[in-house]
Amino acid sequence: MSNGTLTTQVARSLQHEFDLQGFDLLHDHGTKGIDPPDRLGKLRSWFGPILKFESVLADLDIAIVSHHDKKVYALIEIEETTEKPKVILGDILATLIGKGIAFKGKHDLQVGEWTTFFVMVYVTRQSQNDRLVFLSEQINKIKKDLTTPNSSIRRIIIDTFSDNVQLESKLRQHINEAINQRGI
């Protein structure tokens, strides 16, 4: 599986569904000329007074953003090729310590208590689940002590998938739950 292939497939598959619900599905890893240009681009966590290449902390795969107020209800990172804890924790911490989330170099996306951050991890063995549960518990404890703007993200969920069908199904469910809890 090449890097970004599943992300592109699932983004294309879910885009119309969430558009009908009033949300843009912004994503990376697509193809110019095939994917809508207003929905395709770099999603980045960043720090510092201005967004520049040197201030980028993490690249993310998908954001579910309200048409109405530009609030991000779901941030998604899909680990297609590794289940290594240092990569998973690196993705999460680099996002949480950031000042904001930018799309296509513009930092007009808002994260906060309404946002859920999903990290979907491709696993080849179900024995990894205990480790991922442990990582999820620990990162949510660490998050409480951070004071950066991105640490206002309500919760982090680490989940697994074994194929593209399961990834799409779980993401659909997770995104709908995040959208439905926006009033909390």
Closest CA to 95 of 29, 132, 43: 43
Inter-residue contact 71 to 31 (CB < 8 Å): no
pLDDT value of position 184 = 44
CB atoms within 10 A of CB 88: 21
In DSSP terms, which residues pair with 101 in a beta bridge?
45, 109
Q: Which residues contact residue 173 at a Cβ distance below 8 angstroms, ignoring those fewer than 6 apart?
A: none
Q: pLDDT tens digits for 53-71? A: 999 999 999 999 998 888 9
In this structure, the chain runs to a length of 184
Residue 76: give the domain boundaries.
5-180
| CATH code of residue 32 | 3.40.1350
Tokens of 38: 């207003």
Q: pLDDT tens digits for 165-182? A: 999 999 999 999 999 985
Average pLDDT estimate for 46-56: 92
Domain count, the chain: 1
CB atoms within 10 A of CB 161: 21
Please state which of the ranges 42-56, 102-116, 119-133 shows the lowest mean pLDDT: 119-133
